[in-house]
């Protein structure tokens, strides 16, 4: 937890303050869908990072925005390299739950849309990327097994291991208060801005940081 707070909260705040001090034109925070109704430390600390940039935008000449991603195929922590490794070792391929679904996009799509979001930013927005329909993780595992020349549950078993602490069956893209306002690009939506108080957010960040690092 300390590492997540140090990186996602304190680290974001430090870079935000530098951007403000040196009057950077725009600042794009890379966020993720796990910030919506977070059930994990990763999601919660990333949501705090979003709150930092939204409140700072109101008092800075820098345009602070955030972009929410789903899962980026082939990125660090992506499930595909894990499945490929498990298949190469002869299985089993481990899937959390047969009903688990996730949004996916390629690295190329993610980079292109991230740059576009920075270009169209006016300040304070939460950009939500249109990642199409969610994919069942088990279907992804089955496709990879077959593409590797094997048959699921014949040559390579699929093992369901259950939800881990803080893990959801599906990821959400919007908080209830946000609601999508408009589509600013073919694959970019803008969530309604939530009214947040800068001093309250900073006070909560200091309190959280103090509880973790001053004990």
> Looking at 25, 34, 58, 192, which residue is catalytic?
34
Report residue 92 as tokens. Answer: 């089993």
Q: How far is residue 176's CA from residue 166's CA, in Å, rounded to a whole number?
A: 20
Residue 9: partners with Cβ closer than 8 Å, 6 or more residues away: 45, 48, 49, 52, 205, 208, 209
Cα 101 → chain centroid = 15
**12 close to 52: Cβ distance less than 8 angstroms:** yes
- Catalytic (active site) residue 34: yes
Which residues are tagged catalytic?
A: 34
């Amino acid at each position: 937890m300390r590492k997540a707070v140090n990186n996602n909260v304190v680290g974001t705040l430090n870079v935000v303050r530098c951007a403000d001090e040196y009057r950077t034109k725009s600042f794009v925070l890379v966020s993720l869908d796990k910030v919506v109704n977070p059930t994990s430390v990763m999601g919660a600390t990333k949501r705090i990072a979003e709150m930092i940039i939204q409140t700072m935008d109101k008092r800075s000449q820098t345009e602070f925005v955030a972009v929410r991603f789903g899962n980026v195929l082939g990125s660090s922590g992506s499930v595909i390299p894990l499945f490929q490794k498990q298949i190469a070792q002869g299985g089993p391929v481990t899937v959390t739950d047969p009903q688990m679904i996730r949004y996916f996009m390629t690295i190329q799509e993610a980079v292109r849309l991230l740059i576009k979001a920075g270009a169209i930013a006016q300040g304070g927005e939460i950009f939500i990327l249109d990642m199409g329909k969610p994919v069942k993780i088990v279907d992804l595992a089955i496709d990879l097994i077959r593409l590797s020349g094997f048959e699921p549950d014949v040559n390579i078993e699929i093992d369901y291991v259950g939800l881990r602490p803080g893990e959801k069956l599906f990821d959400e893209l919007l908080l209830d208060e946000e609601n999508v306002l408009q589509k600013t690009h073919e694959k970019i939506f803008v969530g309604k801005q939530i009214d947040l108080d800068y001093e309250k957010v900073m006070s909560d960040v200091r309190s959280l940081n103090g509880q973790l690092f001053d004990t």
